[in-house]
Amino acid sequence: MPQRSLAPPVRRARRGLMLAAASALAVGAVAAAPTAQAQEEEPSDLITNGDFADGTTGWWTTENLTGSVADGEWCVDVPGGTLNPWDAILGQDGLPLAAGESYELQFTARASADVSVRALVQQPVDPWLTAMEEFPAFTAEPQQFSYTFTAAADWEAAQLAFQIGRNASPWQFCLSEVALLTDAEPPVYDPDTGPRVRVNQVSYLPDGPKRATLVTDAEDAVPWQLHDAAGTVVAEGDSTPYGDEPTSGESVHVIDFSSVSAAGEGFTLTADGETSYPFAIGTDAYGDLAVDALSFYYPQRSGIAIDDAIAPGYGREAGHVDVAPNRGDGAVTCYGGACDYTLDVTGGWYDAGDHGKYVVNGGISVAQLMAIYERALYAPTGDADRLGDGSLRVPEHGDGVPDVLDEARWEVEFLMSMQVPAGEELAGMAHHKIHDENWTGLPLMPADDPEERFLEPPSTAATLNLAAAAAQAARLFEPYDPDFAAEALEAAETAWAAAIANPEVYAVDRGAGGGPYGDDDVTDEFYWAAAELFLTTGAKTYEDFVLASEHHEADSFSDGGFWWGSVAQLAKLDLATVPNALPQRDALVAQVVAGADVYLAEQDASPWDLGYGADGTFEWGSTSVVLNRLVVIGAAFDLTGERHYKDGVFAGLDYVLGRNALGNSYVTGYGSHYSKNQHSRWYANQLDPASPNPPAGTLSGGPNSMTGTWDPIAQRWLSGCAPQSCYIDDIGSWATNELTINWNASLAQVASFAADQTGGVRTAPSCQVEYRINGQWPGGFNAQVLVKNTGDVPLNAVSLRWALPTGQSIVQSWSAEVSLDGHMVTASSLAGGAALKPGKTFSFGFIGAKDARTAVLPGAVTCSAS
């Protein structure tokens, strides 16, 4: 459901969080009104017959509810087998609300079984605007509940509704002492921001940047101490005052302890009378984070039962496999009868917390996952072994394919299935999305979704996403499954031709059942698709399109990070980092590095090391924007080897992992205080204790200051927030706390970069490698590799590894044993296995086969020796 709004943002820079939300509280006295006259008046109760002294007068129910009143309590029998909360409702209409006035809803309730329901004060007509939405949890014992809210508009006749459906078994709901009182004290949300010493709650590197942010009104420097787990002082110093910082609305200092090289768990920082959450200094955490961020996708799969043995705690039935009550996805037709065919679109990933599957968001998500593997092939610090078969929590272990590619294939095959069949109007284009006819409620497991599913009309944007992602898949799967690679390339080229023939077919949004993902500028998608097709085929048609694109020489980086609606950066990142023969490729490298410099400069200027939001605007999915900028900074490190770019990635991760205004890690399971109630229909523990929270490694969308995109929870509680504080860890806040496949792709990409810096095989420092292409001819080339020992001691058992560029293979070799496994070449037994003496050089060579393109040098060549 998530999308990036193009509406002008509302920008505010007020200090701190001025107004926010309270969760369910015990009923207490209503605060007196601020004037003497008001103090003498009793609040008015807008509810009719809230004590049920007159039976159920003034109340109504849906037809499936029956019950009776006894001793001031109304008990109704709720049938089982309902799937949505609104399948069973009781309520009262005609409640007048005044804009700017605050109200308190009070009631007592119990249930025959432990259940949660949805309590609403809303308009009783479509689009069902909401003034209050809560999810009280009931037990057999009567409980008192109290919720306060402030009306945003004048409503002459609002509705109080208890939506009590969505349970498989029958149960009884009992309600008493209901009141909606005027003149309530406005609700105040006081989030738990933890200690004022804000740190990366997960881990710093022993040889990396280590900074913290202290929230304090102190104008002068204050002393700080770093303690290890035993309480021993490891380091100490003085903070650097920064002053008022607008994105947080706080006055802050910076604590820099980068000189500390000690390693271990349980370190804490103490300053200004506060002690931070504990954190590690070490190299282990980022490998775990990379695995968790990528393993997030398996439980998001549609069309397959999730095995609890693989994903403990997340096992469930297959969703949308044409088993009742599901009504898809094996033979899905177009909404409104717009086509006379059906498509089998089983599979793919559920996009977010809903059951929709969207090609434009799926395209960027799977591209970023495949980019993780492609970086591992070609970057100097890449580690393809870390991503090998058996590395993730997926069911395809043992197939010989890197797990990240297995996971990517699940989505690529879905994207390909969304293609309009040959012979049909718009053949070769991709349907924009597939989702339910209507929105469903929370919680709802995928297998329980009763809605009919429809294909939404094809769009040029979706078609080009298919072309780009399938082209990338074709080159990466070639060594593992040539037939699938050929199928993917055919789908990509068919999609490209269809997009060229239909360049301005834009997404249609019917406003129900799924997010729009509209995009009326697809010039960047054309550029991206052409780039991926060029990298895979080397064809001049795609090369010419890339070079002629308006995006090729334009500055694609200064306006912000990439996202599903702006993908030119994706094209440039791949063209700059994946070996290819594009003319003037150095200019693209320079663009990427210059873009990284822009982001790094903003990050360096922030006391949070936050390279985002300096203009006061935090967008929907802001954490993903932060991370995608770090992807660019990481690429600059791969291209230049300059240390400050690598340090910039690690410093930038601090914000996501807890060094922020709320003291919150936006990654589930990481840190002392982390997001865990992301908006989801099946990770719905906040609503149903039997449901799990999202799995470890799930990213929350994070602060969103764009009020025009806010959900009712955000509208109710976050008014007046400083940008970094426009967030609430509530399952109802999709605008600040959703999970999505594209946002987790950003986390996975950065976490994988971080993991590669903290482990894996590294080139021996005295081993210098020169790789030459001495000649080439149609269909082949001659390569020579020279290895020199620049050190003072002999190198034994010298071996080399590198990834062979797309379109190349090895025919025969000499002076070394050269083998190819997947993409990776290994050269061993150089000079018959003799030691390489100081100052001496070994040389070996091979004859390679190639396609029609010019043979190019590989990426990094790793040299190992003993």
Tokens describing residue 777:
């001819």
The amino acid at residue 723 is P
Amino acid at 767: C
Tokens of 588: 């693209």
Strands 279-281 and 780-789 come out as unpaired
- Classified as helix, coil or strand, 678 is coil
Residues 6+ apart with CB under 8 A from 231: none
The Cα 527–Cα 524 span in angstroms is 5
The one catalytic residue in 73, 729, 730, 756 is: 729
Q: Is 245 a catalytic residue?
A: no
354 classed as catalytic:
yes
| Paired tokens of 630 | 């770090």
Helix (H) or strand (E) holding 476: helix 460-477
Which amino acid is residue 760, in one-letter code?
Answer: G
Dihedral sign of CA atoms 720, 725, 729, 731 in order: positive
Q: Are 200 and 208 in contact (CB under 8 A)?
A: no
Catalytic residue among 431, 679, 730, 756: 679
DSSP 295: H
∠ Cα 816 820 823 (to 5°): 135
- Measured distance CA(728)–CA(712) in Å, rounded: 12
Locate 47 and state its tokens.
Answer: 């509810």
Q: What is the rounded distance in angstroms from the CA atom of residue 505 to the CA atom of residue 431? A: 11
What amino acid occupies position 675?
S
User: Which amino acid is present at 257?
Assistant: F
Q: Which of 133, 354, 436, 647 is catalytic?
A: 354
Handedness of CA 422, 425, 430, 433 (dihedral sign): negative
Kindly give, in sequence order, each residue whose CB lies less than 8 Å from that of residue 700, ignoring residues fewer than 6 positions away.
623, 666, 667, 668, 675, 678, 727, 729, 736, 737, 738, 739
Q: Which residue has the tokens 């979704």?
A: 449
Which residues face 241 on adjacent strands? 253
Strands 458-459 and 767-777: unpaired
- How far is 174 from 108, CA to CA, in rounded Å? 8
Burial of 29 (0-12, 13-18, 19+ CB in 10 A): exposed
729 belongs to the catalytic site: yes
- Catalytic center residues: 354, 679, 729, 738
